[in-house]
Structure 1
Amino acid sequence: MAVLPPSTIQDEVTAFKQQALERFKTGHALTAPPHITLLPPFRSSRTDFSILREFAAEQSPIDIQLKDFDRFDQRVIFVDVVPNEPLTSLQKSLELYAHYHLGIEPEYRPFRPHMTVAFKDLKRPAFPEAWAYFAEQAYERSFTADTLYMLKHNGSTWEVLEQWALSNN
């Protein structure tokens, strides 16, 4: 479950992922559209997630600001999301709702919203150079998140399975 930025920002973040592939041989991030994860991947035998429409209808759109790049240790490089209480609140509410209504176990790691540029196949020896490259770049965009997306892995990439409007204006 995720928030996706508008297509113009998706194109820009995808270009960063492409630079990571060309310069540092890390392309795994290209298997998913640029997004902010609200619920990490989960397995489910359900085919009907329409109950999430009710959840989304009770949520208000959220202003999101992206600013520069950050990292998780020497494993992940990402476009950073400026701390945002409404986004954190949405994530916590969704996590509880999904646990109660869909049986999805909550994530116990702290929520740190971000848009991944390089991870998994970014080799440790290449990390310092990759981090130096992205840390020097300035990037700042904002958008209003007005839709909740469910992504599904099709065996090779992640694609949008369903989407619901955040419509409690």
Structure 2
Amino acid sequence: MQLYFVALLSPADIQREVTAFKQTALERFGSGHALRSPPHITLIPPFRSDRTDFTALQTAADRQVPFVVSLRDFARFGRRVIFVNVLPSEFLSDCQQQLAEFGYQTYGIEPDRRPFHPHMTVAFRDLTQAAFPEAWAYFSAQQYDRTFTADAFALLRHTGQGWEVANQFMFTGV
């Protein structure tokens, strides 16, 4: 069985900037696990499947219209995860809910029971409790303000070493 997840990917310039934040987390605070995936906003968290064909996801993308995503500064989950903050939006929440429902109805992917809190992870898992205060002091002092238009979501597949984009599904809704 293969491991997958579905996410929004930002344009290349924002990908480079957020990857640079991840690189800083590795070099300054010893947290590099986030570098194993491209910067993303998770819509359907990792799930296992023996399927190799997820082309029906285009049906869900066909129902979506492009929408603006706003990134502002940094936030955290407890004392272990630091991320680029994604501002809440009705369009983003609706996209996630509709996709989660589609994934369950079409592929039997169990929906995530946690509340949807969109973010782009910079440091987690291997960010130690000892390094967290200094890392949080550093990132919380940084200003970051970007927007982009989400016009597709991506299916990512785990390679055994990290995550790669398996397919992208363009939004075609009107």
TM class by shorter chain equals over 0.9
Who is 2:3 aligned against?
none
Partner residue of 2:83 out of 74, 78, 81 = 78
Who is 1:148 aligned against?
153
Separation (CA, whole Å) in 2 of partners of 1:20 and 1:3:
22
User: 5+ residue gaps in structure 2?
Assistant: 1-5
**1:69 corresponds to 2:74:** yes
Separation (CA, whole Å) in 2 of partners of 1:54 and 1:89:
16
Separation (CA, whole Å) in 2 of partners of 1:58 and 1:112:
22
Who is 2:26 aligned against?
21
- The percentage of aligned residue pairs carrying the same residue is 56
Separation (CA, whole Å) in 1 of partners of 2:76 and 2:94:
23
Query: 2:136 corresponds to which letter in structure 1?
Result: W
Separation (CA, whole Å) in 2 of partners of 1:33 and 1:128:
25
How far off is 1:75 after superposition?
1.1
Query: 1:132 corresponds to which letter in structure 2?
Result: A
How far off is 1:44 after superposition?
0.5
Partner residue of 1:106 out of 86, 111, 122 = 111
Partner residue of 1:37 out of 19, 36, 42 = 42
Who is 2:135 aligned against?
130
Separation (CA, whole Å) in 1 of partners of 2:87 and 2:149:
13
How far off is 1:57 after superposition?
0.9
Match of 1:125, SS?
coil
Separation (CA, whole Å) in 1 of partners of 2:97 and 2:80:
25
User: 5+ residue gaps in structure 1?
Assistant: none
Separation (CA, whole Å) in 2 of partners of 1:136 and 1:55:
39
* TM-score of the two chains, using structure 2 as the length reference: 0.96
Query: 2:117 corresponds to which letter in structure 1?
Result: R
Separation (CA, whole Å) in 1 of partners of 2:97 and 2:62:
16
Match of 1:109, SS?
coil
How far off is 1:167 after superposition?
1.1
Question: Where in structure 1 do 4 or more consecutive aligned residues deviate above 6 Å?
Answer: none
Deviations 1:136-162 (A, max 9, x none): 000000000001100001000100001
Backbone CA RMSD of aligned residues: 0.5
